[in-house]
Structure 1
Amino acid sequence: MMDSAAAPAAPSPVPVTPARFREGAGRLCLDFIRTLRYRDTAEQTEELADPEDLAAWVRQFGADPDQAVPLPETEQVKDARAVREAVYTLVTSAMSGRQVGSAAREQLNRAAAAPVPVPRLGASGTVAWAAEAPVTATLSLVARDALDLATSPALLARIRPCASPTCGALFLDHSRPGTRRWCSMDTCGNRAKKAGLKART
């Protein structure tokens, strides 16, 4: 019989660092919209408050999370927030069948015109994505994604507002029946279930 004392110890689990920004909206531009957390509620919170915040978002959502992201200028942060609000205006206008205003259109066209990250084949045979200006390139990806989403009727019909009255997020419903209600079952959905259970008991 094998001596249990001689058995190698199981490796300790590697702690998982939680994502700083919310993910899972189904499209990059919708995840970017959510950086204004709890939109249009009393708890509305700006998650892109300074250059460090914007750099962190680009590292989390950019094409190559291992690429160094230079700290953006303050004006870039203001521009990023302007792009975000233009995305929100475009998407919500398209959802309701309205034309987007010229200011939002010009903001998005300007952002989308910037170069996006490009693929580079490394010596190991793997592909990495890189950009000379990671912040500008990632905002270009966001703007291009928004333009594509807003001009795709089938996808527009699948955009939902989270059913939580305090959330304010939009998400793309990929479920087969198209009846998803929450931006995330782990947050808003779970809170709603707990509130419903408490009310019934």
Structure 2
Amino acid sequence: MGDLFRQGAGRLCLDFTRTLRQRGTGGAVEELADGPSLAAWVAQCGPVAPVPGSVVPAPIVRDAQQLREAVYELVAAARTPVGAAAAGEEARERVNQAAARSVPIPALGEDGELRWYVNDPLTGTLALIARDALDLVSSPAARRIRECADPECRELFLDTSRPGSRRWCSMDSCGNRAKKQRRRTEAVAIR
């Protein structure tokens, strides 16, 4: 089975914000609509997968969605000249509270493999996301947060390119789509 959720934004917190696709449009798509979808995201993107078949209560799903929106607000504020201080108090408080929860603990096994341990993989992963967001918006890397130039995407990503001029969240999808569109436009202009 392939990945269900988009990754590759450069930070866990930015990958998490991608679970609301086409944000700000009438066609927004909620990828964390229920417990199974939240558990699937954590299994794919977090360090510790939830126990298969475990039930995720609706309040945990709502908490995850609200945290995602608070993280998005915080990251969007960090992109402004004022910085993360421009985020609303409610968003800051929600992220701070989530960051205070227990996180997965790494340990090196006898075989040399890194393993992660946590009592509650969902809450632990949400805490990691919150901590990652706090770290990102308070670091110089915040100046490298970009919005994808594809008008159908507009997802946030961390530009780690040397010149800092990356335009697309992914060359495989958005960048390729733009190249194809440019070629079609050039072909029509030549005719």
TM-score, reference length from structure 2: 0.91
1:129 aligns with 2:116: yes
Task: State the partner residue of 1:21.
Answer: 5
CA contact (8 A) 1:164 1:192 kept: yes
State the partner residue of 1:9.
Answer: none
Shift of residue 75, structure 1, vs aligned partner:
0.5
Which consecutive unaligned segments of at least 5 residues does structure 2 have? Answer: none
Letter in 2 for 1:139: L
Q: 1:68 aligns with which of 33, 38, 51?
A: 51
CA distance in 1, matches of 2:163, 2:70: 30
* Structure 1 Cα separation of the partners of residues 108 and 170 of structure 2: 35
Other structure's SS at 1:18 match: coil
Whether the aligned pair in 2 keeps the contact of 1:112 and 1:141 (CA below 8 Å) is: yes
State the shift of 1:142 in Å. 0.2
SS at the partner of 1:157? helix
> In the alignment, is residue 115 of structure 1 matched against residue 115 of structure 2?
no
2:99 is equivalent to residue 143 of structure 1: no
Matches of 1:160 and 1:121, distance apart in 2: 35
Are the aligned partners of 2:42 and 2:48 in contact in 1 as well (CA < 8 Å)?
no
- Shift in Å at residue 124 of structure 1? 3.2
Distance 2:114 2:167 in 1: 37
What's the offset of the Cα at 1:126?
A: 2.7
What is the rounded CA distance, in whole Å, between the counterparts of 2:122 and 2:185 in structure 1?
Answer: 46
Answer whether contact 1:161 1:168 (CA < 8 A) is retained. Answer: yes
**Count of matched residue pairs:** 183
Q: How far apart in 1 are the matches of 2:3 and 2:78?
A: 30
Q: Which has the higher helix share?
A: 2
AA matched with 2:51:
A
Give the partner amino acid of 2:92: R
Quote the offset at 1:122 in angstroms: 3.4
Deviation of 1:119 after TM superposition, in Å, equals 2.1
State the 1:106 CA deviation: 1.2
Is the 1:173–1:180 contact (alpha carbons within 8 Å) kept by the matching residues of 2? Answer: yes
- Whether contact under 8 Å (1:131, 1:137) holds in the other structure is yes
Residues 84, 62 of structure 1: alpha-carbon distance in 2 compared, 3 angstrom cutoff:
same
Q: Please state if 1:165 is matched with 2:151.
A: yes
Letter in 2 for 1:112: A
Structure 1 match to 2:174? 188
Over the aligned positions, Cα root-mean-square deviation in angstroms equals 1.4
* Deviations 1:13-43 (CA, angstroms, capped at 9, x unpaired): xxxx321100000000000000001111233
* Percent identity over paired residues: 53
1:22 maps to amino acid: R
SS class of match (2:86): coil
Q: TM-score, normalised by structure 1?
A: 0.86
Question: 1:123: Cα distance to partner?
Answer: 4.4
- Shifted more, 80-89 versus 118-127: the winner is 118-127
